Every structure is written in structure tokens, then in C-alpha cells.
Amino acid sequence: MTKNFVLIVNSSPQSQGARSALKFTNAALELGHHISQVFFYQSGIYNSNALCSPASDEFDVIKQWQLLHQQHRIELITCVAASLRRGVVDQALATDQQLSGHNLADGFRLGGLGEFVTASATADKLIQF
């Protein structure tokens, strides 16, 4: 039976939690399940920072999230309030807040907790990492 999952990622890209979220997402998709949204919150916001640059011999979690988005059109939403507090903004928010630049990685978009709550209410399972 196909299930619809929503994930919330609170773990930074350097943590095991972010990698586990990626592995879970890939495994669920391979089994034919649907991932309607991955919501990044707290330290999970850093998974959407385009300025992160891991060493060449390290696993690039951000790039893997971007590939998932490209291949499966999974919504990658970062909490706008948590992102602003952590210095991860898109061009529109940078302009609105009169910041010198923007750094939200391609494939991610800013959104509110309301979107997360709505997606969670219609999901079969909510998984937190």
C-alpha cells in the first residue's frame, strides 16, 4: 500500500540526521511511496544554504537534496522565520530586508509553518529527523 510522507528535518547538513532523512526519502521512493514535502526547520535550515561547500571527499547533502528535487519534484521548504534568523534567504527576502545578498540553494523555497501543518494533516505519516 502506497503511503504519503511528510518529513521535517531539524538536523544540520553535517549531522547523521540529515543523511538519514535523505536515505529514508530515497528508500521510500524506491518502494513506490510519495513524499509530498520535506520541511527544514531549526538547524535543518542549513541544508538549504547555497554557500556551504563541503570538502571534495565529503558527502554533499545539499547537492543530494537538490537532485531529489530535480528528479522527483519533491517540495523542499525552509521555514522563512527560522531561515531569516540563520541568515539563509532568497532574493526577494534579501531585497525586502535590505540585505546585501541571498543564499537559498536552488530547489529550495521559503515557506511558513502553515504549509507544513497543512501537508502534515493530509499525510499518512510524519517523520522527523
Q: Tell me if the domain spanning 4-128 has CATH number 3.40.1260.10.
A: yes
pLDDT in tens, 69-116: 999 999 999 999 999 999 999 999 999 999 999 999 999 999 999 999
The whole-angstrom separation of Cα 128 and Cα 17 is 9
3-state secondary structure 7-55: EEECCCCCCHHHHHHHHHHHHHHHCCCEEEEEEECHHHHHHHECCCCCC
Active-site residue among 52, 77, 79, 80?
79
**Residue 128 has what pLDDT?**
98
**Residue 83 has what pLDDT?**
98
The whole-angstrom separation of Cα 94 and Cα 88 is 9
**Is 79 a residue of the active site?**
yes
**Residue 46 has what pLDDT?**
98
Instruction: Write down the domain spans for the chain.
Output: 4-128
Residue 70 C-alpha cell reads as 530535480
**Residue 124 has what pLDDT?**
98
In residues, how long is the chain?
Answer: 129
